[in-house]
Copies of this chain bind each other. A is one copy, B any other.
């Protein structure tokens, strides 16, 4: 059992896609994150789902979330305003650690090790420098580990 056998087709997004598209993809498919690919379809990084929220949050309550309690306006407005004109590139950290990508011949244990080390519930499967073959979620991995 190798990563190529576990990988399933997975929605991807490019760095120049609007933030709103990323949010809709996450919400619509109930995904733990999004695989960000370049124009050649090669995985660049994995965007954790929680990071699409970063732009929503006004600076003054980023350090102290309880300050957000003062704002009780319709949340869709806040989100849409925060996301307006922004792209996925704006969500990515400046320093990018090695992304959670495994090669097709990675074993199940290697996939587990990458997920645990990167704290990423989603890994992309791709040959070095090659296009993404698919994704593996923590849920799919656990199902495999508990029933195989």
Contacts and interface: CB of A to CB of B under 8 A. Distances in A.
Interface string A76-117: 101100000000000000000000001001111110111111
Contact of A23 (B23, B30, B109, B142): B142
A56 to B, nearest CB: 5
Contacts of A30: 30, 139
Interface string A104-148: 011111101111111111000000000000000011011111111
A76 to B, nearest CB: 4
Interface string A42-72: 0000001111111011000110011011011
B27 A142 contact: yes
Given A72-B1, A121-B50, A113 B144 contact: no
